[in-house]
Structure 1
Amino acid sequence: MSAHSPSSPRLLSRRTVTIGLAVTALVFVVGLLWAKWVPYVGQAVKAAGSGTWSGSNTLTAGGVQPGDPPSWHAATSFAIAYGTSIWKALVVALLLSAALQALVPPDLLRRVLNRRSPVTGALAGGLAGTPSMMCTCCTAPVVVAMRRSGVATAATVAYWLGNPLLNPAVLVFLVFVAPWEWTVTRLVVGIVVVVGGAALVARFTEGRTLPAEITGEGTPATATEPRPGNAATRFLRALARTALIIVPEYLVIVLLVGAFRGWLLPLDAATASGLLFVLVAAVLGTLVVIPTAGEIPVLQGLALAGVAAGPLGALLITLPIVSLPGIVMVARALGPRATAATGALAVVGGLLGAGMLAVL
């Protein structure tokens, strides 16, 4: 049989890979148009015209106020409000995670994202996360898929943090409805955390450089090989495995956060002062989960209540990134050491945000 025959295994391999990449791209583009891009354009136009943010504060859903004790009502009302805000993005994230696991050759994904230097790897991961604009929990299924494909820590952590922290739509929203200092703080500290911080996490867990077998150097023949087995079966298996593991634990942790949210951010002008409180705000903000742009009404409410710039700057950074449900969902894939280091990085980023916003 000729090497150029349509039934040649090499041509079949390339055709299979091409189809898999096309399907993955279709899931990405169509899914994000539906869940993110089109709605965000509408929100941006509305914010530009009114100069105000119309989104509600999910932390007060169900009438729960700072200081209220835990309750089943607090848990369920928060889960409903949060789920209503993010369900579309979660569906897209699960489909994209399954597509990456089933349809994209692992070597190809590693070649795109892994770099010899943690800094350049973090830059690649951060850039990859910019267009998807998901919240930290919706990003988690994709993070799991990246790790299962062998993507290095620097790129994975940068992708995880870059989605919510450097979300271009949220930056545009901040320009229209918030003081300019908030936008500058978010952008500058976000770049430092996503690129520099993710690189530090990688150095802490993987060392200064990656071996050739991880970066993909020296293995060009496998870079376009498809994964074994039927593509549809692989996709459904990956989707079921990810959904059945991630969604239940996601729901449980979101309910817990909702139940205790009255105790998580008891901020007012009288109590929210001093360096210790800034640290507390950074830690608690890291644990709280909110939908995309959900930090805007929270921060606006606190600012109107007279809360100082320090706590506001800390929450401007920590509210959108990581979160307790996100940590739980990625811990097995990312590893306990890298997960803990990323959580600590989020707190440090919050302290940087507090300092910068206070100075500005």
Structure 2
Amino acid sequence: MEGQTHLPASTVVKNNKRWIVGSIIFLIAAAIGLFLVKWHPYFYKVIKSATEHSIGSSIVSGDKASAPEPSWTAAWNYSVVYFKSIWQAFVVAIILSSLVQVLVPTDWIHRLIGKTTYGSTLIAGFSALPGMMCTCCAAPLVVGLRKQQSTVAAAVAFWFGNTALNPAVLIFMFFILGWKFTLLRLLFGIVLVFGVSYMAGRFSKETADPKPIVEKAKTAQDAKGNFLIRWLKSIGAIALATIPAYLISVFALGAFRAWLFPMVGDQLTGGILAIIAFAIAGTLFVIPTAAEIPIIQTFMSFGLGAGPAAALAITLPVISLPSALMVRRALSWRVLVFLGALVSLLGIIAGLIGTILIG
């Protein structure tokens, strides 16, 4: 085929062996990293949630009905608590995102999650479940997958699969908030991961067959030199693309979180306006993994209704302004606005159902 590079058979065999070894190394690195920062700690957190019916205090307001007034102190305090909670998972995410670009061949990614068929969405969504990352920690991996020519739908399915269908969070939620919240989260999580993500792919109008692009990327990948240099360059590129906007936006949201989450009391317990307000706030705000549970638990202890609480249960973990900024070069602003709007809408619908189901 014109424009396609044909490599000698010996070189192809050598490259295939290198990619097989590289892919095994990537899987081992992923297993070790996730065990240290997710699987092992969450085992003990499951026990805590089952025995104490709590996994900590609200990161938004502590044990109070509202967050502190906007200030530099509020921004700093939130940022410190937030980054202490997520930094280890974020480091693992940066490492895995860089490794997937230098150890896993582009055409392998294309075969699995690089086609616009629904199968790519399913594979990406299910492959995200062991990760159990928060939306911002999953973002570098979304960037890495897109650089390796995954489809938009698959990248979003992986992104939302980490958050909306996190198995550990579903267990925490069952023990702390009850089966009704858990069922609502599970059902809407399935819609988000396997429905909204596929819709986003359609909405993006991406090319049905990016094979020529994949071939070009694979040729360039094969031609690269020293592994360590390629890896360090990949880490640097991902860090530069994600970290600055991440730091600034988390700091800003931490400062003004009182505006997003006003005091819960006699004037704000339920109703459609409260559901809409909390659905939008949950879509924009950024939290560590599972932090939505103590946030909801605290707000409900001060009288927040089941409707707004259900809206938070769906929207808080899935997407945020910082995570959107982090993936802005991997997913267009058009797609990100589409995703944010649908997450908010589903949060509102969940809130209305929660008002009836949970009461």
Q: CA deviation at 1:134?
A: 0.1
Contact 2:61/2:68 (8 A) holds in 1: no
Distance in 1 (CA, whole Å) between partners of 2:316 and 2:67 is 18
Q: What does 1:187-198 align with in structure 2 at a 5 Å threshold?
A: 187-198=186-197
Distance in 1 (CA, whole Å) between partners of 2:165 and 2:248 is 28
Q: What does 1:174-193 align with in structure 2 at a 5 Å threshold?
A: 174-193=173-192
1:210 partnered with 2:212:
no
Corresponding residue for 1:266? 262
Contact 2:94/2:140 (8 A) holds in 1: yes
Counterpart of 2:356, as a letter, is V
Distance 1:227-1:294 versus aligned 2 partners, 3 A rule: farther
Which structure 1 segments of 5+ residues have no match?
A: 1-6
Q: What does 1:1-360 align with in structure 2 at a 5 Å threshold?
A: 8-48=10-50, 50-60=51-61, 66=66, 68-117=68-117, 119-206=118-205, 210-211=208-209, 213=211, 226=222, 228-270=224-266, 271-360=268-357
Contact 1:125/1:158 (8 A) holds in 2: yes
Distance 1:268-1:80 versus aligned 2 partners, 3 A rule: same
- SS of structure 1 residue aligned to 2:150: coil
Q: CA deviation at 1:36?
A: 0.3
- SS of structure 2 residue aligned to 1:333: coil
Contact 1:115/1:215 (8 A) holds in 2: no
Q: Percent identity?
A: 38
> 144-153 vs 240-249, which deviates more?
240-249
Counterpart of 2:313, as a letter, is L
TM-score (ref. length: structure 2): 0.90
Distance in 2 (CA, whole Å) between partners of 1:54 and 1:322 is 22
Contact 2:67/2:258 (8 A) holds in 1: yes
CA RMSD of aligned residues (A): 2.2
Which structure 2 segments of 5+ residues have no match?
A: 1-8
Distance in 1 (CA, whole Å) between partners of 2:106 and 2:44 is 36
TM-score (ref. length: structure 1): 0.90
Corresponding residue for 1:3? none
Q: CA deviation at 1:65?
A: 6.3
Q: How many residues align?
A: 345
Q: C-alpha offsets along residues 302-334 of structure 1, whole Å, 9 cap, x if unaligned?
A: 111121111011100011111110011011211
Q: CA deviation at 1:147?
A: 1.0
Contact 1:309/1:358 (8 A) holds in 2: yes
Distance in 1 (CA, whole Å) between partners of 2:23 and 2:326 is 26
- SS of structure 1 residue aligned to 2:200: helix
Counterpart of 1:126, as a letter, is G
